[in-house]
C-alpha cells in the first residue's frame, strides 16, 4: 500500500520558511508515508514558493521519503526542466518526483511572459515531457569516468545529442548534467479530465485520482489501465492513488468533533475516524483492487500525521530511491547500446 501526502507550495507568509517545510516532511516521514508532494496553489495571486528549489532545499532533511514538485508544462522549457531535476534527483539521492501540472492556464502563463497560449496546450505538454526525457537519456549511466591520469571526466561516446525537432521545441542537446539517479524522476499526473487521463496513461508512473466512492475508484482505475495497455505499457508500470482527506482522532467521537468543526474539506473523499479505522478502510480498498494506495490531503498535518505515527510501520531502508519505494521500473536509456 502506497501512501503519499500533498500540500500546496504556498502558505501564509509567516509559515513560508525552510523550518516550516522541514518540520512538515519530518512529520510525513514519521507517519510512515512514502512521499511529500508540493503542488501548485489555485489562483494566480496566491503567494507560493517554486516547488523545485523547495524540494532541493529539503534534500538535506534526514528522511528517506520522496519529494515531489509541481511543474506547469504549458509554459515550461524542456532543457530547464531536465537540468533542474537532474540536479534535484542527485541532491535527494534519487527521491525526486515531477508532478505534471496541465491546468496552469493562460493567466498564469502570462505571468511568465507567455501571453499567447499554444495552439494545442496538450500537444505542447506531451512534446515538452518527451523532449525532457530525451535530455535525461542524453547521458548514459556510465558516462562519468573521472579518469584523472587520462584527463577525462566523461566518456564522450556515452553522451548524445538528441536532435529533437518538433512543433513546439527544437533542442539539439545533450543536457549539460548527468542523468538522474533514477533514470528519470518519478512522473506524477493528477487526473481530472479525459486529457489528463490520456496523458497519465502515456507517461505517468503515478496517477492521482479523486473518486468519492470505492466503486468510482475501481471504474477510474480500470479506465486508466485500459489506456495504459493501449499505449503498449505494462500495467505494473503505473501506480494509481486516490486523493483522501483524513480527519482523525484518538477516538471516533474525537474525530467526529474535528470533522464537525472543519466541515467539508473540498470535494475529495473524506474519512473520519481513528488511525486504525483508516488503515482498515485502506486495506479493504486494496483487497478489491480499488487502487494502489492513497494520496492524503490533510487539513491539519501536525495533528493527523501525529496520530498516524502511532501506528506501527516498517522503517525506511537506507539508500532506497523513490522508484524503489513505489516498486516502479527504472527507465531504460534509449541511447544506450
Half-sphere exposure of 273 (CA within 13 A, CB side): 11
* CA atoms within a 13 Å half-sphere pointing along the CA-CB vector of 77: 11
Residues 6+ apart with CB under 8 A from 324: 94, 317
CA distance 43 to 108: 8
Extended beta strands in 167-324, E state: 170-171, 186-190, 206-209, 239-248, 269-273, 293-296
Question: Can you say whether the dihedral through the CA atoms of 134, 136, 139, 141 is positive or negative?
Answer: negative
The answer on pLDDT for 176 being more than 80 is yes
Average pLDDT, the chain: 91
d(CA 59, CA 71): 18
Q: Within 10 A of 27 (CB to CB), how many other CB atoms are there?
A: 22
pLDDT digits (tens, 9 = 90+) for 125-164: 999 999 999 999 999 999 998 776 777 788 999 999 999 9
Residue boundaries of the structural domains of the chain = 2-113+180-326
* Cα dihedral 289→325→79→189 (10° resolution): 20
Residue 102: name the closest of 121, 127, 120, 78 by CA: 121
CA of 324: how far to CAs of 3, 41, 65, 295, 336, in Å?
14, 29, 11, 18, 22
Question: Whose CA is closest to 298, among 68, 85, 4, 14?
Answer: 4
Strands (E), the chain: 2-8, 35-39, 66-72, 96-101, 144-147, 152-154, 164-165, 170-171, 186-190, 206-209, 239-248, 269-273, 293-296
Band of residue 206 on the pLDDT scale cut at 50, 70, 90 = very high
For 35-44, 47-56, 85-94, 266-275, which range has the lowest pLDDT when averaged over its residues? 35-44
Distance between start and end Cα atoms, the chain? 36
Per-residue pLDDT tens digits for 60-106: 999 999 999 999 998 899 999 999 999 999 999 999 999 999 876 55
Identify the pLDDT of residue 111.
61
Spatial separation of the C-alpha atoms in residues 205 and 330, rounded to whole Å: 10
336 or 89, which is more confident: 89
pLDDT per position as a tens digit, 187-200: 999 999 999 999 99
Mean pLDDT, to the nearest integer, of 259-273? 89
pLDDT band at 45; cut points 50, 70, 90? low
Q: Which helix (H) or strand (E) segment is 232 a member of?
A: none
Q: Length of the chain, please?
A: 337
Q: Return the CATH class of domain 2-113+180-326.
A: alpha beta
Return the C-alpha cell found at 257.
468533533
Amino acid at each position: 500500500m502506497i501512501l503519499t501526502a500533498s500540500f500546496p507550495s504556498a502558505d501564509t507568509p509567516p509559515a513560508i520558511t525552510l523550518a516550516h517545510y522541514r518540520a512538515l516532511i519530518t512529520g510525513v516521514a514519521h507517519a510512515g508515508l512514502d512521499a511529500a508532494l508540493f503542488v501548485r496553489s489555485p489562483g494566480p495571486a496566491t503567494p507560493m514558493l517554486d516547488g523545485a528549489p523547495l524540494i532541493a532545499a529539503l534534500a538535506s532533511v534526514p528522511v528517506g521519503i520522496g519529494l515531489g514538485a509541481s511543474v506547469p508544462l504549458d509554459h515550461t522549457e524542456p532543457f530547464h526542466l531536465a537540468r533542474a531535476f537532474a540536479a534535484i534527483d542527485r541532491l535527494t539521492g534519487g527521491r525526486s518526483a515531477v508532478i505534471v501540472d496541465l491546468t496552469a492556464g493562460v493567466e498564469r502563463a502570462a505571468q511568465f511572459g507567455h501571453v499567447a497560449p499554444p495552439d494545442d496546450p496538450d500537444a505542447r505538454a506531451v512534446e515538452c515531457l518527451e523532449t525532457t526525457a530525451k535530455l535525461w537519456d542524453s547521458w548514459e549511466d556510465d558516462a562519468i569516468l573521472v579518469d584523472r591520469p587520462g584527463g577525462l571526466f566523461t566518456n564522450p561516446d556515452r553522451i548524445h545529442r538528441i536532435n529533437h525537432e518538433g512543433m513546439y521545441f527544437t533542442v539539439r542537446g545533450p543536457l549539460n548534467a548527468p542523468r538522474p539517479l533514477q533514470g528519470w524522476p518519478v512522473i506524477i499526473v493528477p487526473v481530472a479530465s479525459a486529457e489528463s487521463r490520456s496523458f497519465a496513461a502515456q507517461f505517468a508512473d503515478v496517477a492521482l485520482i479523486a473518486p468519492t466512492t470505492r466503486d468510482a475508484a475501481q471504474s477510474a482505475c480500470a479506465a486508466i489501465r485500459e489506456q495504459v495497455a493501449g499505449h503498449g505499457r505494462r500495467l505494473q508500470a503505473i501506480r494509481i492513488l486516490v486523493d483522501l482527506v483524513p480527519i482523525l482522532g484518538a477516538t471516533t467521537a474525537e474525530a467526529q468533533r474535528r470533522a464537525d468543526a472543519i466541515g467539508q474539506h473540498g470535494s475529495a473523499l473524506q474519512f473520519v475516524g481513528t488511525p486504525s479505522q483508516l488503515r482498515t478502510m485502506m486495506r479493504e480498498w486494496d483487497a478489491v483492487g480499488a487502487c494502489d494506495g492513497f494520496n492524503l490531503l490533510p487539513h491539519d498535518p501536525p495533528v493527523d500525521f501525529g496520530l498516524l505515527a502511532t501506528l506501527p510501520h516498517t522503517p525506511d531502508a537506507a539508500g532506497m530511491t523513490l522508484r524503489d519505494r513505489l516498486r516502479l521500473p527504472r527507465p531504460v536509456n534509449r541511447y544506450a547500446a
